[in-house]
Structure 1
Amino acid sequence: MDLTAPARPPAARTGLVDVPPGHRFAPEIAWLARLGLLDVRPDRTFGPLQPVERAELARALFRYAGADDVAAPSLGMVADDVSAAHPFAQEIGWAVRHRLVLVHADGSFRPSRPARRQELVLALHRAIGSPAPAGRAPFHDVQDWHPSVEAIAWAAGAGVVRGMPDGTFRPSQPVTRQALAVLLRRFDELA
């Protein structure tokens, strides 16, 4: 045994079949799973590269906030395509009421559609009170006219998002389950 070797932090143990301790985002995924922000499948898989549906995003934000808002959605529906009987109606209703995840202009929520990266950043930006960004968005694919530019610039300046190796943010790409874990964890560390 060499006691002079530098100590290495222990690998994060997730208890998930598809997220071994050496996984790049194992600590963030373990944190997300431990808090129960996304459901783990019965076979103990997480699906790190699977997209997060909009209903799942609403549920994750609801759980993260520790919300216990049991108010029934107004008029029996949250959106044209989400009735009060929807399994995530409470969480979607809460996210809509707090303007974290919005209903589309046509009145639909589209709960099973993958959430986009810009939607997650917008939700986090709104959750913290929509602070002004310290600078411009540093990504090649986020121009000053982009509808989410302020939220993306804030998230980049705060260290919540770092972008892709090619200098892009890819705002319209689906949020993966591992990306949700990473961004929520970084957001949590702001406090």
Structure 2
Amino acid sequence: MNKGAFSGCYNLTSVIIHDRVTRIEGTAFGSCISLTSIDIPESVTFIGNAAFSSSALISITIPHGITEINEKLLSGCSELTSITIPEGVTFIGNGAFWECDSLKDIYYGGSEAQWPVIKIENEDVFHVHDTAIPKKTVIHYNFKQPYSGSNPAPTEVPKFSFTDVTPNDYFTDAVLWAVEKNITSGTSKTTFSPNATCSKAQILTFLWHANGSPEPTAATPFTDVKTADYFYKAALWAAEKGLVSGSTFGANTDCTRAMTVEYMWKAAGSPAPAGKADFDDVPANADYAQAVAWAVEKNITSGTGDGNFSPAATCTRGQIVTFLYRAMGK
């Protein structure tokens, strides 16, 4: 993969690299400001300087064949929360993780005794707010990451690949369905964050993907949505379908239960429910009343108990994909 091959591709959100690729040259994905996920195969044995700098990556797993993490590899990746580093790494270059302000976890394949042996070019490698390694960053030793790409692990990768999703969780089938249908890929290769609050941009992006990711045909009506935003097409689609209106989108607004069922109901064509919503906290004249009644009829939700629907309660990522799965996955 040539130097600067995709540098500055503002609309690029996710990448799966072919397992024939052995080298990713410098700045290959530099300044890809919408790139949130990348899957690097085990065939890759070299990654150049600043290959992913100033991107929006949330997490990254360095392949087992890499022995040197070159300078400024992830410099300026302010959204990065976790890095997985294989045991074979012996060198980390200058400013490799400079200004990774959100870095919380480093998953290292070697032991605690091996970590100090890695040659770190200078203390600015992990420089965040004047500290060599942020105090909030936890190094997890002896982490055994699964192999991928052309060099599979000797044992089968578990079906439940997310560390925060177990076979007994109520949302497990929904999460697996959502990933299989490319509705979402999780928040990293190892986490889904089912208990994280879902934003308006996330639910509408999930819903857009679940409906086949149709291309929008009209110009954006929103003053706060840019073409570089990962939810750009989802926002335009939602406006075209009448799911949202107005000149502002409010991408980071927390998604409530009322908003969720109303979006889903409108996306389904606003079908008339057979009855009314029988909840103490859903007024008959509420804008979302028909959507709630429809959601109950479709067994998408039965409320929160004690005669309540809790329309103002925020929804988690686990709840959102469960609602979608019940409506569209069976």
Query: TM-score per shorter chain, which class?
Result: 0.7 to 0.9
What are structure 1's unaligned runs of at least 5 residues?
Answer: 1-11
Q: How far apart in 1 are the matches of 2:201 and 2:185?
A: 12
TM-score with structure 2 length normalisation? 0.49
CA contact (8 A) 1:14 1:29 kept: no
> How far apart are residue 145 of structure 1 and its match?
2.1
Q: How far apart in 1 are the matches of 2:221 and 2:193?
A: 28
Opposite residue 120 of structure 1, the aligned amino acid is: T
> How far apart are residue 175 of structure 1 and its match?
1.8
Whether 1:103 and 2:245 are equivalent positions in the alignment is yes
Q: How far apart in 1 are the matches of 2:281 and 2:329?
A: 26
CA contact (8 A) 1:48 1:177 kept: yes
Kindly, what percent of the aligned residue pairs are identical? Answer: 27
Whether 1:62 and 2:176 are equivalent positions in the alignment is no
> How far apart are residue 136 of structure 1 and its match?
1.5
Look up the match of 2:163: 17
Look up the match of 1:39: 185
Q: How far apart in 2 are the matches of 1:28 and 1:112?
A: 23
Q: How far apart in 1 are the matches of 2:207 and 2:287?
A: 22
Q: How far apart in 1 are the matches of 2:216 and 2:223?
A: 20
The CA RMSD measured in Å over matched residues stands at 2.0
Look up the match of 1:80: 223
Opposite residue 15 of structure 1, the aligned amino acid is: S
> How far apart are residue 54 of structure 1 and its match?
1.1
CA contact (8 A) 1:13 1:20 kept: no
Opposite residue 144 of structure 1, the aligned amino acid is: A
> How far apart are residue 78 of structure 1 and its match?
3.9
CA contact (8 A) 2:216 2:236 kept: no
Opposite residue 17 of structure 1, the aligned amino acid is: T
CA contact (8 A) 1:50 1:177 kept: yes
Opposite residue 242 of structure 2, the aligned amino acid is: R
CA contact (8 A) 1:78 1:89 kept: no
After TM superposition, what 4+ stretches of structure 1 lie above 4 angstroms from structure 2? none
* Closer, same or farther: CA 143–68 of 1 in aligned 2, 3 Å: closer
Instruction: Report how many residues are paired.
Output: 173
Look up the match of 2:301: 161
Opposite residue 98 of structure 1, the aligned amino acid is: K
* Closer, same or farther: CA 34–88 of 1 in aligned 2, 3 Å: same
1:52-71: CA deviation from partner (whole Å, max 9, x where unpaired) = 11111121111111124064
> How far apart are residue 43 of structure 1 and its match?
4.5
> Which of 230, 233, 249 lines up with 1:90 in the alignment?
233
Q: How far apart in 2 are the matches of 1:13 and 1:22?
A: 13
Q: How far apart in 2 are the matches of 1:63 and 1:29?
A: 14
